């Protein structure tokens, strides 16, 4: 157990990195997923293949400077191939991607994600960036969501379904989505997965120092709660050192102050 101070966002990224499986192919989204895959590549899964929407295939993420986006030239460092967005998305459509990382402004009880707008379609309160490659990732790969745990983010029903989770209680297969599936949601408070029966978000583990009340107070719906919950190990010394080295300006992950 680490005795060093750490932030909730460092906890989330460390927890996500430990879930990454070596020798698999990961399609990486912007932000925290980039941090988690970089950490995993450095410490736990040196043989993962990272693919970015901008077209970079199998790069080695620099341990000096974290890329700012999937289109940053730094994601091309030591790449096996530099391609295009169309080409890397076609790899997913052909079944060559094992896992995809995405985030979301809204996530509902079935794991559906909204990154399009908040409010009414005709007069939205907030316009968001849209899908990018997230719909392809959610539709065609095993999806891991990495995001901040907030009540405004975890809603009973998304205002717009940008990227599908289980869709509803009938499951995504009824909508013809037979290749991928939602697998995990990792936040700064907890780890969650999905029920195979009612298709809803199910709490799996609480991060160290987090209570069940903390989790439920920051959700607009109540997830399935099993009889016993696991506890996530705090960030380790080497995890914290790496995250603070590659993101000194705290663009993605907050550090203790």
Find the distance separating the first CA and the last CA of the chain, reported in whole Å: 21
Catalytic residues: 53
Any alpha helices (H) in 115-206, and if so which ranges? Answer: 134-140
Q: Which of 41, 61, 58, 40 is nearest to 49 (CA)?
A: 58
What is the bridge-based pairing of β-strands 142-146 and 181-186?
parallel
Dist. CA 93–CA 99, nearest whole Å: 13
Phi/psi of residue 248, nearest 5 degrees: -65, -25
Alpha helices in the chain (DSSP H): 8-18, 32-43, 85-93, 134-140, 212-217, 237-246
Give 207-230 as a DSSP string: ETT--HHHHHHT-SSPPB--SS-E
Q: How far apart are CA 221 and CA 202, in angstroms?
A: 11
């Amino acid at each position: 157990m680490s005795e060093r101070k750490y932030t909730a966002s460092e906890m989330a990224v460390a927890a996500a990195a430990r879930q990454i499986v070596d020798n698999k192919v990961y399609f990486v989204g912007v932000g925290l997923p980039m941090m988690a895959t970089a950490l995993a590549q450095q410490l736990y899964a040196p043989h993962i293949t990272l693919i970015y929407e901008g077209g970079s295939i199998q790069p080695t993420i620099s341990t000096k400077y974290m890329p700012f986006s999937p289109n940053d030239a730094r994601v091309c460092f030591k790449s096996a191939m530099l391609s295009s967005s169309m080409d890397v998305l076609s790899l997913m459509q052909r079944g060559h991607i094992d896992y995809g990382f995405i985030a979301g402004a809204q996530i509902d009880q079935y794991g559906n994600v909204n990154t399009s707008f908040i409010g009414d379609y005709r007069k939205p309160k907030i316009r968001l960036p849209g899908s990018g490659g997230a719909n392809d990732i959610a539709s065609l790969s095993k999806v891991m969501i990495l995001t901040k745990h907030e009540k405004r983010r975890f809603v009973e029903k998304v205002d717009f379904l940008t990227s599908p989770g289980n869709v509803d209680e009938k499951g995504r297969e009824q909508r013809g989505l037979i290749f991928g599936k939602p697998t995990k949601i990792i936040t700064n408070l907890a780890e969650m997965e999905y029920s195979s029966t009612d298709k809803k978000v199910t709490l799996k583990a609480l991060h160290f120092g987090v209570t069940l009340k903390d989790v439920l107070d920051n959700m607009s719906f109540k997830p399935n709660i099993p009889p016993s919950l696991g506890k996530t190990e705090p960030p380790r010394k080497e995890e914290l050192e790496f995250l603070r080295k590659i993101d000194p300006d705290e663009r993605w992950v907050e550090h203790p102050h």
